Chains A and B, each alone.
Chain A
Amino acid sequence: AQSVTQPDIHITVSEGASLELRCNYSYGATPYLFWYVQSPGQGLQLLLKYFSGDTLVQGIKGFEAEFKRSQSSFNLRKPSVHWSDAAEYFCAVGFSSSNTGKLIFGQGTTLQVKP
């Protein structure tokens, strides 16, 4: 069965430090890949997406992610974290074969930023 795993439930980084959030998926073909961010009390906002092509994708707010087929991973990175980046981050997978737009989400990673 398809699944998405975010190994880190909670991460704390200092402001200005670099960040990497991990995401692994289980699927037989190349999926569509997404990272969403959820600020407290808010809905989810799309940070970036991968459908095909260049495996390094750029998103909003200075985030990027790299698709590695051999590792079934789609890790999110940011070179320098800002206090406003504190939020919940969700990796999600869509399936090109499903034609339904259904997304499967990981369990989320809570990012805390220390001053």
Chain B
Amino acid sequence: DTAVSQTPKYLVTQMGNDKSIKCEQNLGHDTMYWYKQDSKKFLKIMFSYNNKELIINETVPNRFSPKSPDKAHLNLHINSLELGDSAVYFCASSHIYYTGELFFGEGSRLTVL
């Protein structure tokens, strides 16, 4: 039973399209995150939600919009996809948000053509 699950695992799409990545955690954690890993494997935080409240919103284009319908789910919607959006997007969760002890999903590889 996967603790943090993301769908889809792979996503190939054309520039200009809109796509979503879904994330669910069954760990009972209050905080969820989206991280982006680029082609050089550099990981950077994008967003964080604690109990459905946005607490981190890094310098991310407003084409990216997270949505947390409940504390077990954090989805990422991306509008007007660009080539530079190609990356692996990781969802993560944590029990206590200020410590940064994260549990990661397996990632969603987005390829924009």
Contacts and interface: CB of A to CB of B under 8 A. Distances in A.
Chain A contact-residue range equals: 20 to 34
B102 interface: yes
Contact of A45 (B31, B43, B44, B104): B104
B55 A103 contact: no
A16 interface: no
B104 A101 contact: no
Nearest to B94: A101
Contacts of B40: 107
B64 interface: no
A108 B41 contact: yes
Chain B contact-residue range equals: 20 to 34
A49 B107 CA distance: 22
B105 interface: yes
A34 interface: yes
B45 A44 contact: no
A103 B90 contact: no
A101 B100 contact: yes
Interface stretch (A19-27, A58-66, A68-76, A88-96): A88-96
A105 B106 contact: no
A2 interface: no
Contacts of A108: 41-43
Interface string A27-66: 0000010101000011111100101000000000000000
9 contacts: A34-B100, A41-B107, A42-B107, A44-B102, A46-B101, A49-B101, A51-B99, A101-B102, A105-B44
Given A49-B101, A107-B40, A107-B42, 20 more contacts: A34-B101, A36-B104, A42-B106, A43-B104, A43-B105, A44-B90, A44-B102, A44-B104, A46-B103, A94-B98, A94-B99, A94-B100, A100-B56, A100-B97, A101-B48, A101-B55, A101-B99, A102-B56, A105-B43, A107-B41
Interface of A: 32, 34, 36, 41-46, 49, 51, 88, 90, 92, 94, 96, 98-103, 105, 107-108
